[in-house]
Amino acid sequence: MNTSPRILSAALAALALPLSASAQDQHSDFNNSFAPFEVVPAFPEAEGNEVDIKTITPPVEKPKPKATGVVRSLGNGVASYYGKRFHGRRTANGERFNMNAMTAAHKTLPFGTKVRVTNARNGKSVVVRINDRGPFIRGRTIDLSRAAARKIGIIQRGHGRVKLDIVS
């Protein structure tokens, strides 16, 4: 309903209802709240306010922090490694096995879990990502890729006692 203040006062006068001073103040406040206001254009036509898409530089993503915090300890076990014979074959999660990557096989941990494997003999450790199932030899806890096994020093023996920790 579009009613101007003049029509309202004329209607009230026609009804012969006198307005008190406070009612007139409230009436004028109400009417002033609908007073026109200045409209500012959303896109000013001033020179130089245009965006030049060619000069916009995309934000640089920060590198992900390295896995450091221990989430849960898995205890001790025996680690072995696998390499050349399985290089290029499909792993249980569907990716191709790369013996030079920092990956490992575990019987129950979810794929993508990061595990810190520490050699009990020399204290060297490596963080690996679980991407396969195994080991299938009794008494073994984890199968490391050749590169991970080399890094912690179990290549020569073929296996070794290790401490396992899930990291973030």
What tokens appear for 79 in the block?
A: 């680690």
State pTM to two decimals: 0.59
Q: What is the pLDDT of residues 157-166, one digit of tens each?
A: 999 999 999 9
Please state, rounded to an integer, the average pLDDT across all residues of the chain: 81
53 — pLDDT class (breaks 50, 70, 90): low
Q: Which residues of 129-147 are buried (b: 16+ CB within 10 A; e: fewer)?
A: bbbbbbbeeeebbbbbbbb
* CATH architecture, range 70-167: Beta Barrel (2.40)
Q: Is 128 exposed, middle or buried (0-12, 13-18, 19+ CB in 10 A)?
A: buried
Residue range 136-146: average pLDDT? 95
Query: Range(s) for CATH 2.40.40.10 in the chain?
Result: 70-167
Residue 149, pLDDT > 80, answer: yes
Q: Report the run of H or E that residue 103 belongs to, with start and end.
A: strand 103-106
- For residue 83, what pLDDT is reported? 85
